[in-house]
């Protein structure tokens, strides 16, 4: 799983999230709302947390299964933690390869005639870093 810092950087670089069953996220609430659950990782699921379309956008509704009192949060109050397969899919046609090199994984992407490599012990993090570089170049 990617770090919250990388997930936040991806969001801030323009990555948009359309919640789907199985997606993981953490809360990112305003400072005046202190919640111990902010560090918890939640999963979108029809039984517990579901994405609901409202006139103002998408809300993540907690269906009474959590220990603390929170009915729903807006999508802006959540940080999506994309899975490895989602990150790879988001790289689309730029993805060239994933290789294991010693104690790390190397993701290679191609942009125009340039080949870029991103290395990390966690393959999800390597994919995320590659996507962050791709988003930075397409802004």
Burial 5-26 (b: 16+ CB within 10 A, else e): ebbebbbeeebebebeeebbbb
d(C-alpha 131, C-alpha 39), whole Å = 24
| Domain match, 24 and 65 both | yes
The contacts of residue 86 (CB under 8 Å, 6+ apart) are 23
Give the pLDDT score at 74: 87
Write out the residue range of the structural domain in which residue 35 sits: 18-80
Find residue 52's DSSP bridge partners: 59
What does pTM read for this prediction? 0.86
The count of domains in the chain is 2
pLDDT digits (tens, 9 = 90+) for 2-56: 999 999 999 999 999 999 999 999 988 766 555 566 678 989 987 788 888 888 8
Residues 119 and 98 in one domain: yes
Task: Report pLDDT digits (tens) over 85-126.
Answer: 999 999 999 999 999 999 999 999 999 889 999 999 999 999
What pLDDT was estimated at residue 34?
57
């Amino acid at each position: 799983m990617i770090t919250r810092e990388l997930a936040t950087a991806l969001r801030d670089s323009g990555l948009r999230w359309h919640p789907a069953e199985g997606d993981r996220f953490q809360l990112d609430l305003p400072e005046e709302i202190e919640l111990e659950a902010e560090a918890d990782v939640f999963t979108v699921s029809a039984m517990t947390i579901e994405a609901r379309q409202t006139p103002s956008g998408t809300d993540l509704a907690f269906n009474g299964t959590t220990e603390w009192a929170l009915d729903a949060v807006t999508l802006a109050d959540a940080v999506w933690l994309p899975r490895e397969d989602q990150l790879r899919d988001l790289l689309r046609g730029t993805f060239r390869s994933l290789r294991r090199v010693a104690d790390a994984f190397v993701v290679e992407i191609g942009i125009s005639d340039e080949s870029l490599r991103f290395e990390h012990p966690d393959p999800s993090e390597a994919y995320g870093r590659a996507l962050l570089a791709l988003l930075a170049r397409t802004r």
